[in-house]
Amino acid sequence: MRPEILNPLFASATQIRGIGSKLEKVLAKLVNPQGAAAGNPARIIDLLLHVPHGLIDRRYRPSISELPREGTVTVEARVMQHRPPQKGSKAPYKVTVSDGAGVLTLVFFQTFGDHLSRLLPTGEQRYISGKVEWYGGEPQIVHPDHVLTADQLAALPTIEPVYPLTEGIGGKLLGRAIRTATERIPQLPEWLDPAYQQRHGWQDFAASLRALHHPETVSGVGPLSPSRTRLAYDELLANQLALGLVRRHMKRTAGRQFNGDGRLRTKIIAALPYTLTAGQTQAVSEIVADMAAPERMLRLLQGDVGSGKTVVALLALTVAAECGSQGALMAPTEILARQHFATLEPICAAAGLRIDLLTGREKGKQREETLERLRNGDCDILIGTHALFQEGVSFRDLGLAVIDEQHRFGVHQRLALQAKAGAATDLLVMTATPIPRTLALTVYGDMDVSRLTEKPAGRQAIDTRTIPLSRIDDVIDGIRRSLAKGQRIYWVCPLVEESDKVESAAAEERHAALARIFPRQAGLVHGRMKGSAKDATMASFKAGTISILVATTVIEVGVDVPEATIIIVENAERFGLAQLHQLRGRVGRGSEKSACVLLYQEPLGETAKARLTILRETDDGFRIAEEDLRLRGAGEVLGTRQSGLPEFRLADIGAHQDLMTAAHDDAALILRRDPSLRTERGEALRLLLYLFERDEAIKLLSSG
Ligand code: ADP
Ligand code: MG
């Protein structure tokens, strides 16, 4: 139960005058998009955590003769003349004002004259605040932010925060609502270490939050302002504390000791068509040691695309099987789950391991049989999507859960899964996203990490080229030559972040065009196709009955067709660096020489140009991730779609890296000294967890 003292903050935003239930819905999408998607209303706290992205300094009061080229000014002037547009004309309504030294024109589009006569009575003195523009050498202000009397001006904040807005919510309304919200901040006990707080010169939480919305200096709202850093630190600390609690909880529940005898692993390794790399062997031995230890395993396996994580997972699952327990491998997409099943089944058969597949599409009798095998222990390894942890699925004895490409799952989803996997289940999560350390901390906290740093032997560097779309005919000629040599090709269609539908339509169009040129050789997969149709196309591409696979980013993650040697990415400038790196990782998986063609639309912007250059220069996933962070800053690094990054409202991963490390260390120290948060500071920290909605972690505290 949320402590009562926080209730005013979690009350609905409709408590604020001027915000009705209709407006509240629009507001929710703006100030709490995640919550709104889940049908939750906008609350006072959401308003308070809506960070200004700039400010208007109204202290600047030049005379009209000294107006700057641009920027926001506040001018004191007398209203001279109203110049309404001709009847029926679309021209703007103009009002001229003067301060004796110069004349300024105020411009209003589609505004009623009546309203303007009241606002700007001829002959009266007014303060006018807004952005200066120059038109034919004359200064003007289009739609001033404020037209005020001296009294009204005195009531207005001199430095006014400016907030991100959305259709249907104006700046004035939002500003007023947030100002009202700041009156409701309760005084909370301090949760920061006093020495640390003092060293930074931070005010308490309530004062910092008020200062964020009532800045007193021009640097008052920037990410490095004291109020903002204090609040960002609070948010990061809540996050680290929650991760730390999850980890403690999992580590404390005694794990199982899986002392496999290696008998099945030997068979698996013998059945592989290759030998393991040194990195794979090392990762497997780290996992084997974890599983043999009495503590529960909580390990992350990080390895660049194509580094061979799947077989490491298989060997881990085999350890559980050797001990008579069961294992599950969960993939983020159905394509990937099916692919894992197809590649692992023959190898498992060779070792006598019983493996099954379960996704949302397995239905009816077949599904029942799989569930039955799971229950009575006739299945050793279950491969699937998140359907794997749905109701009705119960294992006889689940010993190990592996989550593949975990960054595709949201943080909440992951926590839920970990809870559902059962108290003693070992956990291995795998990701190809080579995220920098600071980011890894925010996502995983203190997981143990194994890294695959090398690629399997015999891989050749991928030849990466950038070609303008205007030369698409040359690319088509190139495809013709490659097909004649029996090569297989991916053609990735443009990313349309907002719309699956538009994206799929573009892919259909490209497919039709290519199918005309290369009859019977091109197939298509996109997100809006039926699962069975996707499977059929993927299977034909794998088997080589078609040689060109036109696809959207559905193939971005994990798809493995070693025979494919060319990937063409259309409108490459629309993709993020990490995403392009992932896509490129679809080729270069066999011993054949592979190529990646990045087709771009001219003219290229600076950032896009830099991105494509980096890809041409390097194939090192870590370097690419670092560059990506530098170029784009923060949250977008992992691709915006379901990045799995926690949603920070105040912390900025780019600007607050130091705070992040400090919060991590602070949380570790707190949990060492006061593991159940029982001291006075501990109680205050519980408030912090509620405040930033890390309640799941609090449940772990009470369940002991
Ligand atoms: P990822 O790490 O991207 O999940 P996969 O596990 O899909 O990589 O492996 C990529 C490809 O490399 C697969 O075709 C797999 O069979 C192959 N592979 C994995 N390990 C080795 C190895 N040691 N030697 C040669 N090929 C390997
Ligand atoms: Mg993989």
Domain holding 515: CATH number?
A: 3.40.50.300
Contact between residue 159 and residue 218 where contact means Cβ atoms under 8 Å apart: yes
pLDDT reading at 575 higher than 90: no
Q: Domain boundary at 397, 424, 452, which?
A: 452
Residue keyed to tokens 């570790």 = 668
Per DSSP, the three-state class of 123 is: coil
Residue 667 covered by a domain: no
Q: Which ligand is nearest to the CA of 582?
A: 1
314, 389: one domain: yes
Q: How far apart are CA 312 and CA 283, in angstroms?
A: 7
Instruction: Report the alpha-carbon distance of residue 372 to residue 369 in Å, rounded.
Output: 5
Which of 477-491, 580-594, 657-671: highest mean pLDDT? 477-491
Q: What is the pLDDT of residues 204-236, one digit of tens each?
A: 999 999 999 998 877 777 888 999 999 999 999
Is residue 426 located within the same domain as residue 506? no
pLDDT digit string (tens) for 104-161?
Answer: 999 998 877 788 999 999 999 999 998 999 988 899 999 998 899 999 888 777 888 8
Is there an atom of ligand 1 within 6 Å of 644 CB?
no
For the segment 59-81, the average pLDDT, to the nearest whole number, is: 91
369 and 401 in a common domain: yes
Residue 575 lies in a domain: yes
Residue 97: inside a domain: yes
What's the mean pLDDT in 182-196?
A: 96
Q: What is the pLDDT of residue 38?
A: 73
- For the Cβ of 542 lying below 6 angstroms from any atom of ligand 1, the answer is no
Same domain, 195 and 80: no
Is 588's C-beta closer than 6 angstroms to any atom of ligand 1?
A: no
Quick check: 450 pLDDT over 70?
Answer: yes
Boundary of a domain, candidates 420, 452, 484: 452
Query: Band of the pLDDT at 503, cuts 50, 70, 90?
Result: confident
Contact 16, 177 (CB under 8 A): yes
Same domain, 390 and 363: yes
Instruction: Please give the pLDDT value at position 640.
Output: 36
**Residue 560 Cα, ligand 2 centroid: separation in angstroms?**
8
Q: Which ligand is nearest to the CA of 332?
A: 2
One domain, residues 480 and 429:
no
The domain in which residue 186 lies consists of 4-55+166-221
The answer to the question of residue 698 being in a domain is no
Lowest mean pLDDT among 167-171, 413-417, 570-574, 697-701: 413-417
339 lines ligand 1 (CB under 6 A): no
Q: How does residue 505 score in pLDDT terms, banded at 50, 70 and 90?
A: confident
Q: What is the mean pLDDT of the chain?
A: 87
Do residues 73 and 213 share a domain? Answer: no
Is the pTM above the cut of 0.95? no
Residue (of 638, 123, 61, 137) closest to 406 by Cα position = 638
Q: Residue 582: CB within 6 Å of ligand 1?
A: no
In a domain, 562, yes or no: yes
Centre of ligand 2 to C-alpha 387, Å, is 19
Residue whose entry in the numeric block shows the structure tokens 């952005």: 131
What is the arithmetic mean of pLDDT over 466-487?
94
Q: In angstroms, what is the span from residue 590 Cα to ligand 1's centroid?
A: 9
The Cα–Cα gap between 327 and 400 comes to 5
Residue nearest to atom 19 of ligand 1 (CA): 308
- Does residue 437 sit in the same domain as residue 288? yes
C-alpha distances in angstroms, 452 versus 292, 301, 443, 500?
21, 8, 19, 33
| Residue 175 beta carbon below 6 angstroms from any ligand 1 atom | no
Does the pLDDT of residue 429 top 80, yes or no? Answer: yes
pLDDT tens for 357-399 read: 999 888 899 999 999 999 999 999 999 988 887 778 889 999 9
- Does residue 632 lie in a domain region? no
Cα(559) to ligand 1 centroid in Å equals 11
Domain boundary among 400, 425, 452: 452
Query: Does residue 396 share a domain with residue 351?
Result: yes
State the burial class of residue 151 (Cβ atoms within 10 Å of its Cβ: 0-12, 13-18, 19+): exposed
Residue 597, helix vs strand vs coil: strand
Strand 138-142 versus strand 125-135 pairing type: antiparallel
Provide the token pair at 476. Answer: 């088509």
Residues 201 and 103 in one domain: no
435 and 545 together in one domain: no
Is 303 touching ligand 1 by the criterion CB < 6 Å?
A: yes
140 lines ligand 1 (CB under 6 A): no
Q: Sorting pLDDT into bands at 50, 70 and 90, what band is 494?
A: confident
Higher pLDDT, residue 535 or 288: 288
Q: How confident is the model at residue 319 (pLDDT cuts 50, 70, 90)?
A: very high
In this prediction, residue 611 carries a pLDDT of 87
Split into its structural domains, the chain has a count of: 4
Ligand closest to CA 560: 1
- The CATH number of the domain where 125 resides is what? 2.40.50.140
Q: In angstroms, what is the span from residue 564 Cα to ligand 1's centroid?
A: 14
- The residue ranking higher by pLDDT, 704 or 422, is 422
List CB-based neighbours of ion ligand 2 within 5 Å. 558
Structural domain contains residue 241: no
171 and 108 belong to one structural domain: no
Q: Which DSSP helix (H) or strand (E) runs through 142?
A: strand 138-142
Q: What is the pLDDT of residues 148-187, one digit of tens each?
A: 999 988 877 788 888 988 888 888 889 999 999 999 999 9
Would residue 699 count as lying in a domain?
Answer: no
Whether 432 lines ligand 1, by a CB cut-off of 6 Å, is yes
Q: Ligand 1 mean position to 464 CA, how many Å?
A: 21
562 Cβ inside 6 Å of ligand 1: yes
558 pLDDT band, cuts 50/70/90, is low
Higher pLDDT, 105 or 553: 105
